Amino acid sequence: MIQLFKRNDIASSIGLIVLTLLTRVHLFLHPPGVQSISDFNQGLFFTWQSLKEFYIHHPVLYLFISTILFLLFAFYFNYVMNEEKLYQRKSMLPALALVLYSALVPSLTLFSTVFIANICLFIAFAKSLQLYHSRASKIASFDIGIWVSAACLFYFPAVPMFIFFLMTLLILRSFSFKEILAYVFGIITPFYFALGIVFLTGHWHSVMPHLFLHVYLPLKLISNAQFIILTISSLLLVVYSLYLINLSGIKNPIAVQKKWNVIILYLIFSVLIGIFANIFPGLPWLLAITPISIILSQAFHNQKEKYNIFTFYFLISVIVIVQWLL
């Protein structure tokens, strides 16, 4: 079956859609309670109460729409990974890795402020990968700053990503004060307009004392068994994928090697942000799922096909165990 996703055509796209829906059946049958996904509708300055009411009254429909939106993101994710030439040929394997790994806890892909923040961060990440050969680097740096700042407006704990993208600029480009200044102005712009709107609409005194920072300590697990299985399987897959990346690293051009270094940094920062949830793994872990999936997609590129097949069915087995047997 994995051969289907080694292509990048209509058949592999249909296969990805079918696989995504199949791995979400349990989610549709057993929608998570509002308590377990609390604050999914809250940003730094705002609360989408209508979003929460929609989920309460139509949870299955809400989850189905969320799945469609996640699929669209998966296709965009796949497009970016293929365009950056991180792999020997274009395929649907990056999207496959994203869909399968996210299916370990499918409720995390629910449409939420974290979901939007994750998209903003990935767009910024996609733009940062283009910096190596970019001629309009100052404009790109400004755009990156805007997208990262927008992510923080939806999910404030993403603030450490400011440092990550600054490090990315320094890794992929030679030092340029103008580019860094453009990046800083990009960061300031969304906050300037957001605060301006709050002030001009007369909500300053009602909004500012009640900023929602989404700051929690990871004091509770979804379940001990799920946590152990997810942790062990994730560590095994990530270590195996990093081993394959290291093997192919010597053959890669310098640009690709630098991009993989940036991806590993992306993983470190997003994991540090993602663990801080009132119930772990909570919605913030979605931020870590994206870079983990980029790395995990390398696990399907082993020269020995039997290892790729084993990895695919290993992930499917873990999904079945976590979703249906625990």
pLDDT tens-digit map of 55-85: 999 999 999 999 999 999 999 999 999 998 8
Percent of the chain with pLDDT over 90: 63
Q: Are 77 and 98 in contact (CB under 8 A)?
A: yes
Structure tokens, 147? 């997208």
Pairwise CA distance, residues 243 & 261, whole Å: 14
Q: Are 96 and 16 in contact (CB under 8 A)?
A: yes
Please determine, for residue 258, whether its predicted confidence score (pLDDT) is greater than 70.
yes
Please determine, for residue 19, whether its predicted confidence score (pLDDT) is greater than 90.
yes
Pairwise CA distance, residues 96 & 27, whole Å: 19
Q: CB pairs under 8 A, 24+ apart, for 38-41?
A: 38/278, 39/212, 39/214, 40/110, 40/112, 40/113, 40/114, 40/283, 41/112, 41/113
Range of the domain at 214: 2-325
In the structure, what pLDDT confidence band is assigned to residue 225 with cuts at 50, 70 and 90? confident
Please determine, for residue 252, whether its predicted confidence score (pLDDT) is greater than 80.
no
Please determine, for residue 318, whether its predicted confidence score (pLDDT) is greater than 90.
yes
In the structure, what pLDDT confidence band is assigned to residue 46 with cuts at 50, 70 and 90? confident
pLDDT at residue 250, rounded to an integer: 66
Task: Choose among 241, 252, 251, 211: nearest CA to 302.
Answer: 241
pLDDT at residue 216, rounded to an integer: 82
pLDDT tens for 105-151 read 999 999 999 999 999 999 999 999 988 877 778 899 999 999 999 99
In the structure, what pLDDT confidence band is assigned to residue 279 with cuts at 50, 70 and 90? confident
CA atoms within 13 A on the CB side of 62: 22
Greater pLDDT, 37 or 16: 16
Number of separate domains in the chain: 1
pLDDT at residue 136, rounded to an integer: 77
